[in-house]
A and B are shown apart, each in its own frame.
Chain A
Amino acid sequence: QKEVEQDPGPLSVPEGAIVSLNCTYSNSAFQYFMWYRQYSRKGPELLMYTYSSGNKEDGRFTAQVDKSSKYISLFIRDSQPSDSATYLCAMTPSNDYKLSFGAGTTVTVRA
């Protein structure tokens, strides 16, 4: 069993829809939870990160962490074609330790 599980999709939604992405994990030591966005033929870039449990909002993006269920989510409101990308979750027990990545979910937002 992988340490971090993420449904690879692909996910296709119409413009303006809410996109819901999630990951589950098995290591209860994880404390830092990140979402990276990767456009085609580019490297990933950090989109959001959350320490421990709770919600974090940044514009149209909301990240949620439920440590009791070992489940994290990313929501994209009012999705735009420019949000079409692969979204990777990542997590680590400590900010000086290596990251564990999910496989990535490919999202297409149709105009």
Chain B
Amino acid sequence: DVKVTQSSRYLVKRTGEKVFLECVQDMDHENMFWYRQDPGLGLRLIYFSYDVKMKEKGDIPEGYSVSREKKERFSLILESASTNQTSMYLCASSLARKNEKLFFGSGTQLSVL
């Protein structure tokens, strides 16, 4: 069974902390994505990557960075967490030129206090 695994289900961090969210996929997918999901706003794309060491900004990249050192792993970094980054974070992956079929992880609910 194909799988996208996010390292934490719930995280509580303090304002100003550096936060790492990890995502691993076992499907040999080229593309990986980080979204945040907020009530009434749907899914908003933060960053995506089409290949190892490649990254592209999504719609809301401010305050975030990413790292993709290996094909199966895509990390989202909050350099200095702020309360407005409290959200559900979802990682997804897809095959090249198959973005209509995204595979999502179960999400990380991050609370920044």
Interface set of A (CB-CB < 8 Å, partner B): 4, 6, 8, 32, 34, 36, 41-46, 49, 88, 90, 92, 94-99, 101-104
Contact pick for A101, options B4, B42, B100, B107, CB 8 Å: B42
Q: Does the CB pair B58–A95 fall under 8 Å?
A: no
Number of residues of chain B lying within 8 A (CB) of chain A: 25
5 residue pairs bridging A and B, Cβ less than 8 Å apart: A32-B100, A36-B102, A43-B106, A90-B43, A95-B98
Q: Is the interface of B mostly helix, strand, loop or mixed?
A: loop
Q: Given the known A-B contacts A43-B4, A101-B42, A103-B42, are A95 and B100 also in contact in the complex, defined by CB atoms under 8 Å?
A: yes
Which residue from chain B places its CB closest to the CB of A41 in the assembled complex? B106
Q: Does the CB pair A45–B99 fall under 8 Å?
A: no
Q: Does the CB pair B42–A104 fall under 8 Å?
A: yes
- Minimum CB–CB distance for A17 against chain B, Å: 25
